[in-house]
Amino acid sequence: MDQTQQLAQLHAYTYEKLSHDHTGHDMAHIERVVKMARTLNEKLGGNSFVVQAAALLHDVVDEKLFTDIDQAKASVIAQMQALEVSQSEQDHIMEIISKMSFSHSLAGKQELSLEGQIVQDADWLDAIGAIGIARAIYYGARHKEKLYDPAMPPRKELDKAAYRDLSNETIINHFYEKLFKIKDMLNTAEAKAIAKERHELMLSYVTAFKADW
C-alpha cells in the first residue's frame, strides 16, 4: 500500500472517531490542520507523510475527547500496523501526537521534531483568529461554561489538572489562559507570521465584547 492510500485510510479512521464531535474537534478542524500543515511543510521541508499522518491523527488520542488514552493510542498503532506504516514512521507519529497538545506545554515546552513543530503550529493556528473565536465559544458552550463574569479573573500559573478543570473558567477567560499565549509559543517563523493578524483579531474581539458587556 502506498502512502497516498495509507493517508486515505487514516483519514477514514479519523472520520470514524471524530465525525460526531460537537466540541470543535471535528473533521472540519482536522482537515484545516492538515491543509495548514501541508502549507507550512512546503516551506520547511519535513517528512510529508509523517506531517500529514500526524495532522490527521492528532485528536484521536486527545484526553479531552477520549477517556481511555492508552486504549486510544493502542487503536492508532494497530491501525497503522494494519496499513503497513513503517515502524520508524509509527514511532515518529506517536511521539508527535502524544506530546503536541497545549496542556502538555504547561509543564514546559516539549521537544518536538521539525514535523512535530509543523503539526503543532498548524493545530494551534486553528485555535486562534476568527475560527478560533468560534471554536472557543462552541467548546465552552458544549461544556456549559459561563460566558463571562467580570468578577472572575483569568487563572494564572495553571498546571495541567487546573487547566482541565472548567468549573471556574469562563469562555472569555480562556482567551487569556490559552489563546492569547499561542502567538508567542509557536515554533516556526512561518506560523508566527500567520498568527500575528489572527492574534490582533482576537484582541479586538475581546475588547469589543467587554465594551458591549
Considering only CA atoms, give the Rg of the chain.
17
pLDDT of residue 160: 79
What integer pLDDT is reported at residue 16 of this predicted model? 96
pLDDT of the residue at 5: 97
- Residue 105 is predicted with a pLDDT of 85
Q: How confident is the model at residue 13 (pLDDT cuts 50, 70, 90)?
A: very high
pLDDT one-digit tens code per residue, 32-72:
999 999 999 999 999 999 999 999 999 999 888 888 999 99
Residue 167 has a pLDDT of 84
CA 186, CA 124: separation in Å to the nearest integer?
A: 8
108-161: per-residue pLDDT in tens? 788 999 999 999 999 999 999 999 999 999 999 999 999 999 999 999 988 878
Query: Angle at CA 62, nearest 5°, toward 57 and 65?
Result: 115
CB neighbour list of residue 1: distance below 8 Å, 6 or more residues apart: 9, 83, 84
Q: Which three cell numbers stand for residue 16?
A: 470514524
208 falls in which pLDDT band (50, 70, 90)?
Answer: very high
Q: What is the pLDDT of residue 157?
A: 85
> How crowded is the C-beta side of 52, counted as CA atoms within 13 Å?
17
pLDDT at 36: 98
Give the domain ranges of the chain: 3-212
Residues 6+ apart with CB under 8 A from 110: 99, 100, 104
- Rounded CA-CA distance 24/30 in Å is 10
Q: What are phi and psi of 69, to 5 degrees?
A: -70, -35
Q: How far is CA 50 from CA 8, 66, 131, in A?
A: 13, 23, 25
- State pLDDT tens for residues 164-178: 878 889 999 999 999
pTM summary value = 0.95
For the chain, what is the mean pLDDT? 95
Nearest CA among 177, 171, 182, 158 for reference residue 205: 171
What crossing angle do the helices spanning 48-57 and 87-99 adopt, rounded to 10°? 50
Give the CATH fold of the 3-212 domain.
Answer: Hypothetical protein af1432 (1.10.3210)
Please give the Cα distance from 121 to 123 (Å, whole number). Answer: 5
Contact predicate 113/167, CB 8 Å: no
What grid cell was written down for 80?
Answer: 497503522
Summarize the confidence of residues 21-29 as an average pLDDT: 93
